[in-house]
């Protein structure tokens, strides 16, 4: 079942991105996604990916990998959004 891990990682990325794009502080889009549908879709993607991680490895390891990957993505998305905002404003620093 280890073939599910790349799909779970990608689905986690989609879920975290949907959460970020539904936030009012996101900087990738000119307007954020609608809050409730965006966060609901993100939560659904995260729940499915957690199930995929848990079924492709031991449950404790699956939760650990999922949690670590979510933390990495939710840290990188705002940082990348800040870089996009700097490029748009013309401040190359």
Taking only the tens place, the pLDDT of each residue in 38-71 is: 999 999 999 999 999 999 999 999 999 999 999 9
For residues 12 and 45, the answer to whether their CB atoms sit within 8 Å is: yes
Q: How many domains would you assign to the chain? A: 1
Helix axes 35-56, 59-89, angle to 10 degrees: 140
Domain residue limits at 39: 4-89
Residue with tokens 């959460």: 19
Residue 28's H or E segment, with its range, is none
* Rg of the chain, C-alpha, whole Å: 15
- Spatial separation of the C-alpha atoms in residues 4 and 55, rounded to whole Å: 9
Contacts of 84 (CB under 8 A, 6+ apart): 27, 28
Residues 2-52: tens digit of each pLDDT? 899 999 999 999 999 999 999 998 888 889 999 999 999 999 999 999 999
Q: What is the pLDDT of residue 30?
A: 86
């Amino acid at each position: 079942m280890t073939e599910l891990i790349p799909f779970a990682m990608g689905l986690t990325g989609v879920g975290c991105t949907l959460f970020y794009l539904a936030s009012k502080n996101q900087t990738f889009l000119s307007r954020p996604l609608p809050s409730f549908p965006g966060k609901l879709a993100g939560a659904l993607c995260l729940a499915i990916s957690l199930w995929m991680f848990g079924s492709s490895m031991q449950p404790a390891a699956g939760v650990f990998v999922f949690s670590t990957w979510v933390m990495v993505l939710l840290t990188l998305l705002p940082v990348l959004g800040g870089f996009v905002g700097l490029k748009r404003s013309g401040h190359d620093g």
